[in-house]
């Protein structure tokens, strides 16, 4: 009997932490993959307004148009709100060709479902937005989504 007692003595065996790095690396890779670095740097101030009647946006069929005042590094462009598409400021009359080009780059079956996401700073006046919308109507890209921040119900 004493033969068995011997083994039971002593502390609990230490839990092996050898697999800890593997687990952490797995998490690390997940976040590395999930992280999206901003693809176009904004040249404008872009604080979105808030709303609660929102729908989710499908990224695969969307082109974004930004609008707002040029941010502090781009003061040379003046104080008036400007339109930004991809990485450059554009004028109102360039909206149509830019949007059509973006639509043409999509996969063919998504092209009819093309949505234009409008990310407009809340300080912008609505006249600029209606100019953009007018151009979008001319380009016959009629689905727009006003991108907003989700407002939590009070």
Partner 1 sequence: MAKRSAPEVNAGSMADIAFLLLIFFLVTTTIEKDKGLLRSLPPIDDSEVEPPIIKQKNLFTVLVSRDNQLLVEEELMELKDLRQAAIDFLDNGGSTNAEGETCTYCKGDRDPASSDHPDKAIISMKHDRETSYEKYIEVQNELVAAYNFLREREAQRLYNRSFQSMLEEKEKNQFSKDEKLNEQIEAIKKLYPMKLSEAEPDKS
- The contact set with partner 1 (CB under 8 A) reads 17-18, 20-21, 24-25, 27-28, 31-32, 34-36, 49-57, 59, 62, 115, 117-118, 120-127, 129-130, 133-134, 136-138, 140, 142-148, 150
**Pick 43 or 141: Cβ nearer partner 1:** 141
Minimal distance, residue 54 CB to partner 1, in Å: 4
Query: Between residues 43 and 129, which has the closer beta carbon with respect to partner 1?
Result: 129
**Count of other CB atoms within 10 angstroms of residue 29:** 10
Alpha carbon distances (Å) from 107 to 56, 58, 113: 20, 14, 10
What is the C-alpha separation between 55 and 146, in angstroms, rounded?
Answer: 10
Measured distance CA(89)–CA(76) in Å, rounded: 12
Closest CA to 139 of 88, 102, 90, 86: 102
> Minimum distance from CB of 107 to partner 1 (Å)?
16
CB atoms within 10 A of CB 99: 22
Q: 49 or 90, CB closer to partner 1?
A: 49
CB of 3 vs partner 1, minimal distance in Å: 35
Q: Least distance to partner 1 from the beta carbon of 142, Å?
A: 4
């Amino acid at each position: 009997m004493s033969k068995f007692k011997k083994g039971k003595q002593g502390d609990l065996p230490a839990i092996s932490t050898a697999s800890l790095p593997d687990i952490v690396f797995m998490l690390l890779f997940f976040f590395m993959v999930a992280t999206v670095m901003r693809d176009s740097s904004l040249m404008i101030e872009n604080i979105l307004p808030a709303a609660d009647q929102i729908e989710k946006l499908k990224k695969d069929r969307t082109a974004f148009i930004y609008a707002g005042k040029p941010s502090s590094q781009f003061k040379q462009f003046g104080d008036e709100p400007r339109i930004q598409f991809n990485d450059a400021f554009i004028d109102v009359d360039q909206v149509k060709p830019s949007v059509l080009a973006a639509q043409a780059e999509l996969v063919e079956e998504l092209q009819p479902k093309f949505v234009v996401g409008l990310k407009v700073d809340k300080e912008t006046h609505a006249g600029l937005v209606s100019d953009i919308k007018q151009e979008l109507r001319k380009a016959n890209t009629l689905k727009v989504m006003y991108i907003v921040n989700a407002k939590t119900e009070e």
